[in-house]
Copies of this chain bind each other. A is one copy, B any other.
């Protein structure tokens, strides 16, 4: 039987690049549509439609604005995400998604590292925030420092492997800029919540880019929902 082996570090066809081409989100599959939302809501009334009408758009608007979002749970997406480890950790705090991730216990190949395309400075008056106030020159210097730190950690990792140390312990010296890939499935109710929190002033810049990439991927599939939600 023929077997096409694809590289997990390469995006699927329907994808959006982020972080200056270092990361991406791909849409692997989708179940349901705006008609699904309307019909799942109309089960309460005992009625189905095969195509949505103006009245249904008003119904969707009502559902979304009044947090009657259980009908959104019947629309489901699978994504593949390629991102830095620290973005992955924030993402995996969302416990209503299903995840399968590449494991550094299994494989030591294809290791890539993230270097921020834009380096930000620490906010003076908000402990959690960063600001876009660094000179181009200072940013370049910082990027060079980060690139070297990443490379150095890869050398140390490889030296440990050469010494015979197991992958699961050796990976401990890799920086948190290491890139990872995971498969992620979520329903629209929980995805909308994720997008609200993660495309937000309080979120880390890198995470915001992923949230916006997802909006870009799903907007054509759910045009009325996207408009109502201001995506």
- Measuring CB to CB, which residues of chain A are less than 8 angstroms from any residue of chain B? 1-9, 29-32, 36, 39-41, 43-54, 70-71, 73-74, 76, 78, 80, 84-86, 88-89, 92-93, 95-96, 98-103, 105-107, 109-110, 114, 116, 119-123, 127-131, 134, 138, 141-142, 145-146, 148-150, 152-153, 156, 159-161, 163-169, 171-178, 181-183, 185, 187, 189, 204
What is the CA–CA distance of A161 and B119 in the complex, to the nearest angstrom?
A: 12
State the oligomeric state as a number of copies.
4
In the complex, which residues of chain B have a beta carbon less than 8 angstroms from the beta carbon of A40? 100, 183
In the complex, which residues of chain B have a beta carbon less than 8 angstroms from the beta carbon of A41? 100
Contact (A46, B8) CB under 8 Å given A98-B74, A163-B142: yes
**CB < 8 Å neighbour of A36 from B29, B106, B175:** B29
Nearest CB in chain B to that of A103: its residue: B44
Nearest CB in chain B to that of A12: its residue: B48
Contact B122 A145 (CB under 8 A): no
What is the CA–CA distance of A129 and B165 in the complex, to the nearest angstrom?
A: 11
Nearest CB in chain B to that of A37: its residue: B100
Distance to closest chain B CB from A198 (angstroms): 13
* A-B residue pairs in contact (CB < 8 Å), sample of 16: A9-B46, A30-B31, A46-B107, A70-B98, A74-B78, A74-B100, A74-B183, A88-B89, A122-B164, A122-B165, A145-B173, A149-B152, A149-B173, A171-B176, A175-B176, A176-B176
What is the CA–CA distance of A6 and B176 in the complex, to the nearest angstrom?
A: 28
Contact (A204, B105) CB under 8 Å given A146-B172, A176-B85: yes
In the complex, which residues of chain B have a beta carbon less than 8 angstroms from the beta carbon of A70? 98-100
What is the CA–CA distance of A107 and B122 in the complex, to the nearest angstrom?
A: 12
What is the CA–CA distance of A7 and B110 in the complex, to the nearest angstrom?
A: 39
In the complex, which residues of chain B have a beta carbon less than 8 angstroms from the beta carbon of A150? 173
What is the CA–CA distance of A181 and B30 in the complex, to the nearest angstrom?
A: 25
